[in-house]
Amino acid sequence: MSGNKLRVLALVHRHLVPPGAVEEGTDITNEPWRTEYDVVSTLGAMGHEVQVLPVHDDLGDIRRAGTDWKPHIAFNLLEGFDDIVIFDQNVVSHLELLKLPYTGCNARGLLLARDKSLSKKLLAYHRIRVPEFEVFRAGRAIRRPKRLTFPLMVKSLTEEASIGISQASVVDSDEKLKERVAFVHESIGTAAIVEQYIEGRELYVGLLGNQMLQAMPVWELFFTNMPDGAKRIATDRVKWSVKYQKKYGIDSGPAIEMTEAKAEGIQHLCKRAYRALELSGYARIDLRLDEAGNAWVLEANPNPQIARGEDFAASAEKIGLSYETVLQRIINLGLRWQPESVA
Ligand SMILES: Nc1ncnc2c1ncn2[C@@H]1O[C@H](COP(=O)(O)OP(=O)(O)O)[C@@H](O)[C@H]1O
Ligand SMILES: [Mg+2]
């Protein structure tokens, strides 16, 4: 740890301002501001001076906080601007123009990783295995190309956090395909991406770094008690409903039954994906491991969930990186990142 006390401007969604303190023993697992609370309170306890800036749709707030308080760095916990998720990259671009160092991914990496079609094209160029796919935009005919065979996975082209992902996202007929694509257009309001469904285990790998990358141990999402016939995928209930997780035995932890060599191969693959998408700071790569042992990259998540004890932090902990160390590393990477020197 640097030992330097820094002024850290925590940029948070206006509805996710964490309370200054919570009573000891309070369970905050289900609080929407949990990540914000964990980051802000931990940085404070580490001796940094932290100011929380709620952000909605006014860039002026960020600029003023920058000039008035002169933070060393902005800790970027925003996942959009004005509730438009794809504007996350624009906020980061703005920070770059203000010459205010920031944590997490650069604007270009956010853009490349966000688009599940563009990112797969880049990964495929680098010979990283990704599912075959097709994009369907609203108002255009929904015709399945022959190279895509059932079952297929239908999801939003740009949404995150398993929004709109349920058992019905996996379709096995043209009729169901049309229905689900229409659902994405109408209910989520974005273009749809249809991918080859990859049957297999669900893996996650956290990474930290700009040029030099460190991969965390391979993490696995376990489905120990799913009803017969249900697909083992991270639907929004699997990800977010504690009740559902209990009922169906959903849990995550270090990948089991995996040789050291296999795990290292997957970590190496994830570093290549991180570089191919020009990410920086920290990220989590989502993969599927099929029966034959092939790892397929589903997507890259720049600025992933970093609440204490959740997958990213827990996998770091496994190799001796405490939560405090992870946050400090994220800050140091942000301080060292030079947006102007990126090609
Ligand atoms: N092509 C696919 N094959 C199998 N499962 C998939 C596929 N695409 C997505 N999934 C499942 O859906 C989950 C969410 O999809 P993902 O692309 O990671 O979207 P999000 O950005 O919402 O996390 C994945 O973690 C995985 O369980
Ligand atoms: Mg995902």
CATH number of residue 323's parent domain: 3.30.470.20
The pLDDT of residue 136 is 96
Amino acid at 123: L
Residues 73 and 143 in one domain: no
Sign of CA dihedral 47, 31, 78, 116: positive
With a 6 Å cutoff on the Cβ, whether 49 touches ligand 1 is no
Mean per-residue pLDDT over the chain, rounded? 93
Report the DSSP beta bridge partners of residue 181. Answer: none
* 245 pLDDT tier (thresholds 50, 70, 90): confident
Evaluate whether residue 214 is within a structural domain: yes
With a 6 Å cutoff on the Cβ, whether 202 touches ligand 1 is yes
The pLDDT of residue 291 is 94
Measured in Å, residue 234 CA sits from the centre of ligand 1 at: 6
Residues 223 and 178 in one domain: no
pLDDT at 1 over 60: no
pLDDT at 338 over 70: yes
Evaluate whether residue 219 is within a structural domain: yes
Helix axes of 323-336 and 311-318: crossing angle, nearest 10 degrees: 100
With a 6 Å cutoff on the Cβ, whether 195 touches ligand 1 is yes
Evaluate whether residue 152 is within a structural domain: yes
Residues 216 and 189 in one domain: no
**DSSP 8-state secondary structure symbol assigned to residue 338:** -
* 8 pLDDT tier (thresholds 50, 70, 90): very high
Instruction: Note the pLDDT tens digit of each residue in 44-75.
Output: 999 999 999 999 999 999 999 999 999 999 99
Residues 178 and 231 in one domain: no
Evaluate whether residue 247 is within a structural domain: yes
Most informative mutation of 85, 120, 162 for ligand 1 (most atoms within 8 A of CB): 162
Winning range, highest mean pLDDT, from 11-20, 29-38, 200-209: 200-209
Going by CA atoms, what residue is nearest to atom 24 of ligand 1? 234
CA gyration radius for the chain? Answer: 20
Residue finishing a domain among 179, 196, 213 = 196
Going by CA atoms, what residue is nearest to atom 21 of ligand 1? 160
Residues 137 and 185 in one domain: yes
With a 6 Å cutoff on the Cβ, whether 197 touches ligand 1 is yes
Burial of 15 (0-12, 13-18, 19+ CB in 10 A): exposed
> Alpha-carbon dihedral of residues 75, 23, 310, 117, nearest 10 degrees?
-50
Q: What is the pTM of this model?
A: 0.93
* CA distance linking residue 190 with residue 194, whole number of Å: 13
Residues 221 and 97 in one domain: no
Residues 179 and 237 in one domain: no
With a 6 Å cutoff on the Cβ, whether 203 touches ligand 1 is no
Range of the domain at 172: 132-196
Listed in sequence order, the DSSP H helices in the chain are 34-45, 59-69, 88-97, 107-114, 118-125, 174-183, 236-240, 242-247, 260-276, 311-318, 323-336
Residues 207 and 222 in one domain: yes
Evaluate whether residue 209 is within a structural domain: yes
DSSP-based three-state secondary structure for 40: helix
With a 6 Å cutoff on the Cβ, whether 248 touches ligand 1 is no
Which ligand is closest to the CA of 116, given by its number?
1
CA 197 to ligand 1: nearest atom: 3
Residues 208 and 265 in one domain: yes
* CA distance linking residue 199 with residue 288, whole number of Å: 8
Is 95 within 8 Å of 55 (Cβ atoms)?
no
Is 240 within 8 Å of 162 (Cβ atoms)?
yes
Show Cβ contacts of residue 265 under 8 Å, excluding neighbours closer than 6 positions: 295
Evaluate whether residue 118 is within a structural domain: no
DSSP-based three-state secondary structure for 5: coil
Instruction: Note the pLDDT tens digit of each residue in 217-237.
Output: 999 999 888 888 888 888 888
Instruction: Note the pLDDT tens digit of each residue in 90-135.
Output: 999 999 999 999 999 999 999 999 999 999 999 999 999 999 999 9
Residues 334 and 205 in one domain: yes
Measured in Å, residue 173 CA sits from the centre of ligand 2 at: 24
Residues 292 and 327 in one domain: yes
**Phi, psi angles (nearest 5°) of residue 35:** -60, -45
With a 6 Å cutoff on the Cβ, whether 252 touches ligand 1 is no
Is 76 within 8 Å of 53 (Cβ atoms)?
no
DSSP-based three-state secondary structure for 296: strand
Residues 320 and 279 in one domain: yes
Measured in Å, residue 103 CA sits from the centre of ligand 1 at: 26
* CA distance linking residue 22 with residue 80, whole number of Å: 27
pLDDT at 30 over 90: no
Measured in Å, residue 94 CA sits from the centre of ligand 2 at: 26
Report the DSSP beta bridge partners of residue 133. Answer: 195
Instruction: Note the pLDDT tens digit of each residue in 281-329.
Output: 999 999 999 999 999 999 999 999 999 999 999 999 999 999 999 999 9
Per the structure, the count of domains in the chain is: 3
Strands of the sheet with 49-55, listed across from one edge: 49-55, 7-13, 73-76
Residue finishing a domain among 102, 117, 150 = 102
Evaluate whether residue 110 is within a structural domain: no
With a 6 Å cutoff on the Cβ, whether 329 touches ligand 1 is no
The pLDDT of residue 3 is 58
Evaluate whether residue 53 is within a structural domain: yes
Candidates 136, 294, 277; CA nearest to 201 is 294
